[in-house]
Amino acid sequence: MPTATALLITAQRDLLLAMRRKSDVLVSLFFFVIVVSLFPLGIGPEPLLLKKIAPGVLMVAALLSTLLGLPRMFAADYADGTLEQLALSPLPFGLLVSGKILAHWLVCGLPLVLLAPVLGLQFGLDGESLPMLMLALLIATPLLSLIGSIGAALTLGVRGGGALLALLILPLYVPTLIFASGAVEAQMVGMSTSGYLSLLAAMLALAVFFAPWATSAALKIALE
Amino acid sequence: MNLLTEKPAKGFYRFSSPQTFYPLAEKMLPWFWVAAALFGIAGLWISFFVAPTDATQGEAYRLIFVHVPASWMSMFIYLVMAAWAGIGLALGTRLSGMMAQALAPTGALMAALSLATGSLWGRPMWGTWWIWDARLTSELILFFLYIGFIALQAAIDDPRRADKAGAVLALVGVVNVPIIYFSVIWWNSLHQGSSVSLTKSPSMAQTMFAGMILMALCFWMYSIAVALMRVRAIIIERERNAEWVRTEISMEKTNAVE
């Protein structure tokens, strides 16, 4: 089997499983919407203040929402032995893991990108900031899935997995958060965004290469 | 795994076995404690009695004699911890994982100390306990990384798996530390410029610099001594079912009676 096909088949399988349990997908999507909606309630309805905090609030909510879906990335396959079979297969394990990460992004990341403009409008973002918000999220969300996969693999079958996962992964999400919300903030005040976007893209390129490798190493430790 | 049937390795690698390292660590311990005490006494004496009062910051600047060494050690210990973790992952040596585990609490302590003294210093200097500046924030994130490492190791019961999972996390962390550091600098930099650099001569008085270096050496020696004590405890705990531990403990007991 060509290696690219293996990646796509793994992703396809995970997508199919996700589609059969739509509630899981919708829960993290609504979590994103609810967390974002809580901020105006907590802070107050001043339009200027809300516009100022919008990029940060949306990015933090996206980050937490991605985190919510992470434990599901490997847990079911680990429990029923599928993961062990994947690890034993002659195909490169890192590639199969990449397929699973891709599926996680399509299920947990991409919907956030598509939903973000609606929430951005609620915070009074203007017409030029909304595409920038989508673009920043489009680069940031796969990065979140890739970095998160390492944590998901490390905490597989470990006591208190969910809270521990957050503790391990959230500090590593800091650069993504800074650059993604920085890009939108720069757009809002009319400054150049290319620096932020280039750095985000550079981190994504690094993560695409290294994260599946680290994740498969962590999974093999869990499977021992 | 039966240690008794394993052939002892030659040379330096002999000490990669917990059994041979345990007595070696015991022999090294007093030296590091003595060094820590000597550097500490000299450093504190210079810091409090020799170093002049700073022209702009008054007496409060003397906190840097604790703050700067603690910050240095918190970063350095993370590197050493990741190095041990990497060696353990690559070579499968048990002692490396134990060293990484022994270093983590000291590193977290240094990071916490650096944050605490930094905020004590910030109160008179900046007029606030905490500002979201680049170095404070990255030190805080480093502290979180230590806590994550300790929590992950504590959550996994099998020590070998805990070592390996911790090693992957430490290596991922060490790749991320520079990225986090520069992202936070980009994000916000209000902190005054670094007054010590490797390339240009220090902008502080010679005696202040000497005091800081002595205190840094003291912290370094203390960290090694404490890590060795902790690794000895970890060795005894993990190898409690091995034959050599029983003979070792019974020997220590007879020595104590005599």
Closest CA to A106 of A34, A2, A15: A15
User: Which residue in chain B is spatially nearest to A211 when comparing CA positions?
Assistant: B172
- Confidence bin at B206 (pLDDT 50/70/90): confident
Report the sign of the C-alpha dihedral through residues B104, B144, B187, B62, in that order. negative
> What pLDDT, on a 0 to 100 scale, did the predictor assign at position A7?
87
The residue of chain B nearest to residue A224, with distances taken between CA atoms, is B161
Name the residue among B160, B59, B90, B139 with its Cα closest to residue A222: B160
At A176, phi and psi to the nearest 5? -60, -45
Tell me which of A170, A172, A193, A209 to substitute to probe the interface with B (most B C-beta atoms closer than 10 Å): A172
Sign of dihedral through CA atoms B36, B39, B43, B46?
positive
CA distances from A119 to A141, A143, A190, B232 (A): 16, 21, 21, 55
Strand partners, B54: B58
pLDDT for B188 equals 61
CB nearest B168 (choices: A172, A179, A221): A221
- Contacts with B82 from chain A: Cβ below 8 Å: none
- Give the residue carrying structure tokens 């990646």: A7
Q: Measured between CA atoms, how close is A212 to chain B, in angstroms? A: 12
Contact B3, B244 (CB under 8 A): yes
Give residue B6's pLDDT.
53
Q: How far is CA A59 from CA A63, A134, A139, B43, B204, in A?
A: 6, 11, 12, 46, 42
The first and second tokens of residue B85, run together, are 């973790």
Min distance B141 CA to chain A CA atoms (Å) = 6
Q: Collapsing DSSP states into helix, strand and coil, what is residue B58? A: strand
C-alpha to C-alpha distance for B104 and A147, rounded to whole angstroms: 22
Instruction: Take residue A120 and report the two structure tokens written for it.
Output: 């951005």
Report the half-sphere exposure of B78 (CA within 13 A, side-chain side).
29
Do B138 and B181 contact (CB within 8 A), yes or no? yes
Per-residue pLDDT of chain A (224 residues), as tens digits, is 677 888 899 899 999 998 888 888 888 899 999 999 999 999 888 888 888 889 999 999 999 999 988 988 898 889 898 899 988 988 889 899 999 999 999 999 999 999 999 999 988 888 888 999 999 999 999 999 999 999 999 998 888 778 899 999 999 999 899 889 888 988 888 888 888 899 999 999 999 999 999 999 999 998 88
More reliable by pLDDT, B245 or B30: B30
CB A97 within 8 A of CB A212: yes
The alpha helices in A124-173, defined as continuous H runs, are: 129-154, 161-169
**DSSP one-letter string for B168-220:** HHHHHHHHHHHHHHHHHHHH---SPPPS--SSS--SS-HHHHHHHHHHHHHHH
Q: Note the pLDDT tens digit of each residue in B222-235.
A: 999 999 999 999 99
ipTM over 0.95: no
Please name the residues in contact with B106: beta carbons below 8 A apart, sequence gap of 6 or more. Answer: B73, B77, B223, B226, B227, B230
Which pTM does this prediction carry? 0.86
Segment 120-159 of chain A within 8 Å of chain B by CB: 150, 154-155, 158-159
For residue A220, with 0-12 CB atoms within 10 Å meaning exposed, 13-18 middle and 19 or more buried, which class applies? middle
DSSP B12: G
Residue B1 has pLDDT above 50, yes or no: no
Which residue of A158, A179, A181 to mutate against B (max B Cβ within 10 Å)? A158
What is d(CA A216, CA A213) in angstroms, rounded to the nearest whole number? 5
The verdict on a CB contact (< 8 Å) between B164 and A221 is: yes
CB A131 within 8 A of CB A118: no
CA distance B2 to chain A (A): 20
Tell me whether residues B168 and A160 touch, CB distance under 8 A.
no
Which pLDDT value is given to residue B7?
58
pLDDT at res. A200: 93
Nearest CA in chain B to A160: B155
For the cut 70, the answer to whether the pLDDT of residue B10 exceeds it is no
Q: Report the residue of chain B nearest A222, measured CA to CA.
A: B161
Which of residues B24 and B146 earns the better pLDDT score? B146
> Which of B168, B181, B189 has the most A C-beta neighbours within 10 Å, making it the best mutation to test the interface with A?
B168
Residue A55, token pair as written in the block: 């990029």
Q: Is A87 exposed, middle or buried (0-12, 13-18, 19+ CB in 10 A)?
A: middle
Looking at the predicted structure, is the pLDDT value of residue B21 above 60? yes
Q: How many CB pairs under 8 A join A and B?
A: 74
By C-alpha distance, the chain A residue nearest B187 is A178
- B240 pLDDT band, cuts 50/70/90, is confident
Domain boundaries, chain A: 3-223
* Digit-coded pLDDT (tens) for B72-82: 999 999 999 99
For A166, residues 6+ apart whose C-beta sits below 8 A from its C-beta are: A67
Radius of gyration of chain B (CA): 21
- In Å, how far from its chain's centre is CA B184? 23
Q: Determine, for residues A174 and B141 on separate chains, whether the beta-carbon distance falls below 8 Å.
A: yes
- Chain B residues closer than 8 Å to A165 by CB: none
